[in-house]
Structure 1
Amino acid sequence: MGGALDPAVATGRNLVRGALADLGPGSRVVVGVSGGADSLALAAVTAFVADRAAYDLSAVIVDHQLQAGSAQVAARAAEQVAGLGVRAEVVEVEVGTAGGPEASARRARYEALRRPGADAILLAHTLDDQAETVLLGLGRGSGPRSIAGMSPVDGSLRRPFLALRRSTTEQICRAYGLEWWTDPHNADPAYRRARLRREALPLLEEVLGGGVAEALARTAGQLASDNACLDELAAAVATPLDVATLAALHPALRSRVLRRGALEAGAEASDLAATHLAELDRLVTDWRGQQRIELPGGVACVRKGDSLSYVRTPVGG
């Protein structure tokens, strides 16, 4: 890439540099690549940053094997990533059916990306992806945690491009001479996210006069900050199983304490819904002799006198 530095490339490099600022030389960084514009752009700018910072960078190209020709798409992505000077590995995964095709593919993809010893795993979600996630959360009525969207940092997972528009990643690819693949699923109306992308968001942009995606992403950031504050306060509650302590808390904080307790007991986070939390709350605020509240993940919450406890759910009920 010769000539003046493209502003889109400079922005992408700065975002990655900031996302990895806590890592020292030799840190192992893995970038997830699909062959689309977003992930190829991420691989390109990360290759530059990793070279300067002396990171141990590699790429994992996940082949979900859901479409004809997926192996060729993965091979082409690996070829282009290797051309950037990055070690590339193609990993084939089996996508199940639990939770729907999108959720199953995501689980399989994340499992493939979690390489042993990786200090950071970079994902190429953009501001557009964040806006779509917020809308999906609003549509499900899943509460502030869902509407907060994707976190820039989630354990080893990092998303440097959450402030970047999808069109900018395409510009980065053009600057590097990279040829990206367009997933036909992104235009398939059978997928809710695809319809949001192609129908709902453009209509909202037209009706509200533009800036909708940015506004949704800002909302996600504000809610994420609020969630983090409530989570910290919940973690500081000294006796989280004591009914009197729980009853004295603000309902918003009590819900967080109850959720935290359920997760620590082994409840499945992805299946723990608002209805479960409402029932847990009734053990504290409207107890009428309920024996236990069943939770996803094979655990139940029981109230005995003035205290809650969690037990494993016996087989068969």
Structure 2
Amino acid sequence: MSSNEPARTRGRPDPAVAEIRVAVRHALGELRGGQPLGDEDSEQRDPGPLVLVALSGGADSLALAAALAFEAPRLGWRAGAAVVDHGLQAASATVAARAADQARRLGLGPVVVRRVAVPTDAPDGPEGAARAARYAALESARVELGADALLTAHTRDDQAEQVLLALARGSGTRALAGIPPRRGPILRPLLAVSRERTERACLAQGLEPWRDPHNSDPSFARSRVRERIIPLLEQEIGPGVAANLARTAELAREDADALDALAEERTAAAAGVVIRGDGEASIAVADLAARPPAIRNRIIRAVAAELGSQLGRVHTTAVAALAVDWRGQGPIHAPGLVAHRRGGRLVLRATRLD
């Protein structure tokens, strides 16, 4: 009997278990354009499409793995797991092996473990370096196994932490949109589920999650937000802060998606954009100046991206000033490009480091 049997044999599953299963069911349905595979289709597919869960052994990913093991066969999917050993703790190999064993006992397969090397001097710090190494390993496993998608166990609490960190850094709408529900083959079904519910789901199913000491290590910014800031906000403002921050991310994502779509439309059709094959692009100043700042700045960033440059807020506003606050200034030197005004056009040229 698998570890998730206790919740099944008592009749109706615990509400937390049911909530997570429903979230996984919807995610698998989304993978097939809202048309989940039924049993008949499953019999015709041999052996059936594969989906993986990114499993650390913590409560969030373990609850997600159990839900995937329950739902996937009923919808015609094969379900496996990918475990990443970051090698950052003395017992990391043991933790990874335990998580892989839990996945197999849940009925998941194939199950793979990938060990990664996390650089200690990365510009983004240890958190960013570990994240980059983890996603690279997960994507490699997904491609190697031929999986259609990878599910990760980010919760509503993770979303709230992400929004607070973005606010503290003075980020814009896209950053405030937080963790996206889907990015390419990566799906995050639990963004509306609280961490308390994943803990409860594990308890209800007799699953024993691993407690990552890094999650409470105050040397990490996210840990301080989790352990200190959000509890303080809940204490001083009242309950529901995490849920409201997650709701803020949803609203910000709606706005950011709409503005990005408008900017893309204007870039393609109405902003007088010309992109040449020699690393130079130009935008009609009059057309650009007529746009609201949110659209104008997105057009500039989109054109810069075509030239291989990712502009931040400071450089974007400096380039935009060539169109809306022209006083003879320039050129503007930004990472990967130089911008100047030539007559009635804003000219951006890619630069290369020799």
TM-score by length of 1: 0.93
TM alignment of 1:31-42, pairs within 5 A: 31-42=53-64
Deviation string, structure 1 residues 12-47 (Cα, Å, up to 9, x no partner):
011111122133453331211111110111111011
Residue 216 of structure 1 deviates from its aligned partner by 0.4
The DSSP-based 3-state class of the residue aligned with 1:62 is: strand
Alpha-carbon distance change, 196 to 23 in structure 1, aligned in 2, over 3 angstroms: closer
Which residue is 2:66 aligned to?
Answer: 44
The runs of 4+ residues in structure 1 deviating greater than 6 Å are none
Quick one: percent identity of the two aligned structures? 49
Distance in 1 of aligned mates of 2:87 and 2:198: 25
Residue 302 of structure 1 deviates from its aligned partner by 4.4
Asked whether the 8 Å contact 1:301–1:309 carries over to 2, the reply is: yes
Which residue is 1:211 aligned to?
Answer: 240
Distance in 2 of aligned mates of 1:99 and 1:30: 27
Which residue is 1:152 aligned to?
Answer: 181
Distance in 2 of aligned mates of 1:47 and 1:301: 53
- State the one-letter code of the partner of 1:7: P
Give the alignment partner of residue 333 of structure 2, picking from 282, 293, 304. 293
Residue 245 of structure 1 deviates from its aligned partner by 1.4
TM alignment of 1:7-86, pairs within 5 A: 7-24=15-32, 25=37, 26-86=48-108
Q: Could you list the runs of 5+ residues in structure 2 that have no partner in the other structure?
A: 38-47, 274-282
Deviation string, structure 1 residues 112-162 (Cα, Å, up to 9, x no partner):
111214322211000000000000001000121111111111122111100
Distance in 2 of aligned mates of 1:261 and 1:119: 32
Which residue is 1:233 aligned to?
Answer: 262
Distance in 2 of aligned mates of 1:157 and 1:283: 39
Residue 185 of structure 1 deviates from its aligned partner by 0.9
Alpha-carbon distance change, 308 to 118 in structure 1, aligned in 2, over 3 angstroms: farther
Quick check: 1:111 aligned with 2:136? yes
Residue 289 of structure 1 deviates from its aligned partner by 4.1
Asked whether the 8 Å contact 1:294–1:313 carries over to 2, the reply is: no
Asked whether the 8 Å contact 2:331–2:338 carries over to 1, the reply is: no
Residue 308 of structure 1 deviates from its aligned partner by 3.5
Residue 63 of structure 1 deviates from its aligned partner by 0.6
Which residue is 2:210 aligned to?
Answer: 181
Asked whether the 8 Å contact 1:42–1:124 carries over to 2, the reply is: yes
Moved more, 307-316 or 101-110: 307-316
Asked whether the 8 Å contact 2:160–2:245 carries over to 1, the reply is: yes
Q: Could you list the runs of 5+ residues in structure 1 that have no partner in the other structure?
A: none
Which residue is 2:45 aligned to?
Answer: none
Higher gyration radius (CA):
2
What is the aligned-residue RMSD (CA, Å)?
A: 1.6
Asked whether the 8 Å contact 1:41–1:169 carries over to 2, the reply is: yes
Number of aligned residue pairs = 311
Distance in 2 of aligned mates of 1:101 and 1:60: 21
Which residue is 2:155 aligned to?
Answer: 126
